[in-house]
Amino acid sequence: MNITFIGLGNMGAPMAANLIKAGHAVTGFDTMAKPEGVTMADSAAEAARGADVVITMLPNGAILRAVADQVIPAMKPGAVLCDCSTVDVDSAKAVAAQAEAAGLGALDAPVSGGIGGAAAGTLTFMVGGADGAFATVKPLFDIMGQKAVHCGAAGAGQAAKICNNMILGVTMIATCEAFALADKLGLDRQKMFDVVSTSSGYSWTMNAYTPAPGVGAKSPADNGYKPGFAAELMLKDLRLSQQAADSADADTPMGQLAAQLYEQFVEREDGRGMDFSAMLPRFEKRGRG
Ligand code: NAD
């Protein structure tokens, strides 16, 4: 397949490298990055011309909309625009509608798995869009990832991603505040883990990504809270969840509070550049007042 890859940063570059390794012809475009081994075009439109699939992996919805304005008129009829960035649901739907009106297929296909998953080709894709477009891109998802779930119509992939990450942010905070409370109550962290990880308080954050160093699963806590999944990326996803909740008139009090706490941690404390599980040392240092 002729593939165009726009946005070759931390995630896009290794994803494109896996497509090339699997034998696909990939033309790239990025305003800054120049990764080795990818043939780069001079503009997004030039990169997109003649491609069967155009994949984008960009920072946010505004940039996606700007790039879509450039590439959609250049794409050949029947080609598919597949956005793998994490963006707001409204931008995902708007870009899909614009692409479909121009006779193209369109998918929103955000990922989980992070930079490690992108390099190893083990990402999970959450995909919104029509069956035909999904079928066209599925072989590429299988190269870049281990699982692709077709979640529904345009926007459903982004919806799945932000709902999942809203649960993740809320449960990480709950797990960290519980460890900090246990400390103050004189409960040993290992005992706390032994009980909770096999009781009704268990969760992915407790069992698979334990935020306490030396306890439970190996995680960024065992590496000085270096990300992993950075607190500012969690903040981005929580903000997107609250933007979507506003737009859909959904009541999400826990998600809203999680967004506020990560905002405080990242923008007014020392959370930027730390893993999102560094909420535990944050709570450790605090009292009730
Ligand atoms: P990044 O900043 O490393 O990469 C983004 C790339 O887009 C950069 O190379 C930048 O130069 C390029 N870019 C910006 N504007 C452009 C334009 N107008 N035209 C062409 N290229 C442009 O970010 P990343 O970590 O690769 O993340 C990309 C997306 O994936 C984001 O939406 C992010 O939320 C999502 N995501 C990231 C992770 C992660 O762990 N890093 C995990 C899951 C999802």
Q: What is the predicted pLDDT for the residue at 289? A: 84
Indicate the residue type of 192.
Answer: M
pLDDT bracket for residue 198 (50, 70, 90):
very high
Give the integer Cα–Cα distance in Å for 136 and 130: 10
Do 144 and 19 touch, CB atoms closer than 8 A?
A: yes
- Pocket lining for ligand 1, CB < 6 angstroms: 6-12, 29-33, 44, 57-59, 63, 66-67, 85-86, 111, 114-115, 233, 236
pLDDT bracket for residue 199 (50, 70, 90):
very high
CA trace torsion 137, 139, 143, 147 (10° rounding): 80
* Tens digits of residue pLDDT in 83-105: 999 999 999 999 999 999 999 99
Catalytic residues: 161
What are residue 2's phi and psi, to 5 degrees? -85, 115
Map tokens 């066209």 to a residue. Answer: 136
Measured in Å, residue 237 CA sits from the centre of ligand 1 at 14
Do 179 and 212 touch, CB atoms closer than 8 A?
A: yes
- 74: tokens are 């250049």
- The separation between CA 17 and the C-alpha centre of its own chain, rounded to angstroms, equals 19
* Tens digits of residue pLDDT in 119-135: 999 999 999 999 999 99
Do 47 and 72 touch, CB atoms closer than 8 A?
A: no
Q: What is the predicted pLDDT for the residue at 137? A: 98
Give the integer Cα–Cα distance in Å for 35 and 23: 17
pLDDT at 168 over 90: yes
Measured in Å, residue 200 CA sits from the centre of ligand 1 at 37
Give the integer Cα–Cα distance in Å for 100 and 97: 5
**First vs last Cα of the chain: how many Å apart?**
59
Ligand 1 mutation target, pool 8, 11, 111, 240, most atoms within 8 A of CB: 11
Measured in Å, residue 13 CA sits from the centre of ligand 1 at 10
Question: Please, how many CA atoms are within 13 Å of residue 288, restricted to the half-sphere of its CB?
Answer: 2
Q: In sequence order, what are the residues at sequence separation of 6 or more whose Cβ sits closer than 8 angstroms to the Cβ of residue 81? A: 54, 56, 68, 71, 72, 75, 95, 99, 104, 105, 106, 107
